[in-house]
Structure 1
């Protein structure tokens, strides 16, 4: 099935990129001709028989994406849509590392021109996102964070239970939306974080409607240094498995830590260390009384090519 799915895509140009080790196959589709199906995406992302990747990102005009045409009508500057798929071919709402790689790809393709300090609006299934080019990469405003099970979280500070492979009991957790779902588990022991078996999908109760990514987080000692809080994280992404990095997951992890440590709620600047490096997470108050979350970090393209047949 993998070979035939790839043969259907013979001649398709692609790039390979990553953001802190979260890697993607990227394709440019300015005419809207390459709306790949789940089997084709899974074949391209297969690490043995395909190109390999945690996901696939298609650059397509927002006006050509069924169901999302209104985004460009309401936000004319959001001309490009980040069509993101998990490595198993399933659709995902947003990827914080992916959106940085996406903007870097748009620039490399000559589809946009973005100077340091300038901002680009991107269409996505999680709404329009603004990405600023920085001296060292990109900073993406991913919008507000929220609690998925708000009533229970407000009453108990947690709203979910997680069982990871090798554990003999469920651990309390907090489910957070960053436009996509996350469930965050706090650990106190760095050795426990290292020893986690994430080859198996963690069990979450209750499971958010569209499944969830699961983040396991350990605070640094000390947590706060020079006004910046630091945590370490590993993640199991739905439809993928463990990845070296998850941008929206890093944001969710920082948001959960702030929520639990109410006395630390004024800490707006966080560093999240993941196996693929580290990213910055900043919380910005907005007029609505909510907080928007800005994710910053690098993005790199490592290869280009054209698919051949077998």
Structure 2
């Protein structure tokens, strides 16, 4: 099977993009194929795959022309990816499929997202891109465990489910080579787990273990969830903006007075090509 592909990342959360505008190249995107592509030893290597497809071709409901058909590194379907959608939007602009001077609507399994570009209209490497991530859901408290320790974890949904644990040091979570323990009754479909330290006023740092991908260098929906959990704990009035440091860089999350979250960070396309897949 021959097909075009691109590689991009947002704060080192990396993705393979598969242009398939009318859905005729990949058909039903196979999870095993996605997992093979994402394998860092036997494939291209990535935290997930995004198919660039028209909403009409996928049969989804969206006001946007384009739909982000996103799967995790293990081939499982994900509702949303905050870093990935910035890379997705950057690709559309660079290919002339969208205009950086206007808000861009992209369909996702978590509903439509509106993306805006910063003052750098050239949409080049490192361009700052903002995404309206919608309204978060702040729920209850459960437990997570890693490295032989257990912490209280705050449940926040920002498209994906998240369990946020505040720790003394990011190293307290250990190597994160395996899925941390969590309450499966609270999260029957799995959960992204963030370990967070405070760095200052409206400033936190985090590590994340993503369901279906393992520990990643960044997580956009996770950064949003962490900012919300920190703001709730700090009794910070809205609007407020939190700086969130991740191993791959920094993003900023604004929690507006209308409860919408705005995620702002860079995105880059780093490689492209045509592949004959023989695996």
Q: Could you say which structure has the higher helix fraction?
A: 1
Match for residue 90 of structure 1 among 76, 90, 94: 76
Q: SS of the residue aligned with 1:265?
A: coil
Instruction: Give me the whole-angstrom Cα distance separating, in 1, the residues matched to 2:85 and 2:159.
Output: 13
C-alpha displacement of 1:65: 2.0
For the pair shown, which has the larger CA radius of gyration, 1 or 2?
Answer: 1
Q: Is the CA contact 1:166–1:197 (under 8 Å) kept in the aligned structure 2?
A: no
* Alignment TM-score, normalising by the size of structure 1: 0.83
C-alpha displacement of 1:200: 1.2
C-alpha displacement of 1:268: 0.6
Which position in structure 2 is the counterpart of 1:218?
Answer: 197
Q: SS of the residue aligned with 2:256?
A: strand
Q: Is the CA contact 2:254–2:262 (under 8 Å) kept in the aligned structure 1?
A: yes
C-alpha displacement of 1:29: 1.1
Match for residue 54 of structure 2 among 53, 61, 80: 61
Match for residue 161 of structure 2 among 176, 181, 188: 181
Instruction: Give me the whole-angstrom Cα distance separating, in 2, the residues matched to 1:188 and 1:162.
Output: 15
- After the TM superposition, which residues 140-179 of structure 1 pair with which residues of structure 2 at under 5 Å, given as runs? 140-147=131-138, 150=139, 153=140, 159-167=141-149, 170-179=150-159
* Mapped pair 1:261 → 2:238: no
CA RMSD, Structure 1 to Structure 2 (Å): 1.5
Instruction: Give me the whole-angstrom Cα distance separating, in 1, the residues matched to 2:277 and 2:21.
Output: 23
Unaligned runs of at least 5 residues, structure 1: 1-9, 154-158
- Runs of 4+ in structure 1 off by over 2 angstroms are 188-193, 264-267
C-alpha displacement of 1:231: 0.4
Match for residue 178 of structure 2 among 200, 209, 223: 200
Q: Is the CA contact 2:170–2:206 (under 8 Å) kept in the aligned structure 1?
A: no
* Mapped pair 1:80 → 2:66: yes
C-alpha displacement of 1:187: 1.0
Q: Is the CA contact 1:165–1:197 (under 8 Å) kept in the aligned structure 2?
A: yes
Q: SS of the residue aligned with 2:2?
A: coil
Q: Could you say which structure has the higher strand fraction?
A: 2
Unaligned runs of at least 5 residues, structure 2: 121-126
* Mapped pair 1:107 → 2:93: yes
* Alignment TM-score, normalising by the size of structure 2: 0.92
Match for residue 36 of structure 1 among 23, 29, 33: 29
- 1:23–1:119 Cα change, 3 Å: same
Give the number of aligned pairs.
Answer: 268
Instruction: Give me the whole-angstrom Cα distance separating, in 2, the residues matched to 1:113 and 1:217.
Output: 36
Match for residue 107 of structure 2 among 98, 123, 132: 123
